[in-house]
């Protein structure tokens, strides 16, 4: 790998790593509007709302950005994500990722 290739790779990877440092406590406060569908503890409260608790922050942030930009289509989520800043998204992702869930086999 050339030095230039390595620098390009780092330039792409580092902003994502730095941005992934959202604050769960701030995210919890921001999540009040999410609770209606996704539940206060990140477990979907309606049949068509996915569980967010325990999902990786990088995944949650990517999905919120996709909803915000319109790249991912959902009538409600596109509206809800539109006003979110990158910082809001990182905090929300950190909050839901911090929630621990337990899975038991039937």
The pLDDT of residue 19 is 44
Domains and CATH numbers, the chain: 3-98 (1.10.760.10)
Burial degree of 65 (CB within 10 A; 0-12, 13-18, 19+) = middle
Q: DSSP of 41-63, one letter per residue?
A: TSS-SSTTSPP-TT--HHHHHHH
pTM: 0.79
* pLDDT band at 102; cut points 50, 70, 90: very high
To 10 degrees, what angle do helices 86-98 and 57-69 make?
A: 140
The pLDDT of residue 1 is 53
């Amino acid at each position: 790998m050339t030095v230039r290739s390595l620098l390009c790779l780092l330039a792409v990877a580092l902003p994502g790593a730095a941005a992934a440092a959202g604050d769960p406590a701030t995210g919890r406060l921001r999540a009040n509007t999410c609770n209606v569908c996704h539940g206060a503890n990140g477990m979907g409260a309606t049949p068509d709302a996915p569980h967010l608790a325990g999902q990786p922050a990088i995944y949650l942030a990517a999905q919120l950005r996709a909803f915000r930009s319109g790249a991912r289509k959902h009538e409600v989520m596109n509206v809800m994500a539109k006003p979110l800043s990158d910082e809001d998204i990182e905090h929300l992702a950190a909050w839901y990722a911090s929630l621990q869930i337990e899975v038991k086999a039937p």
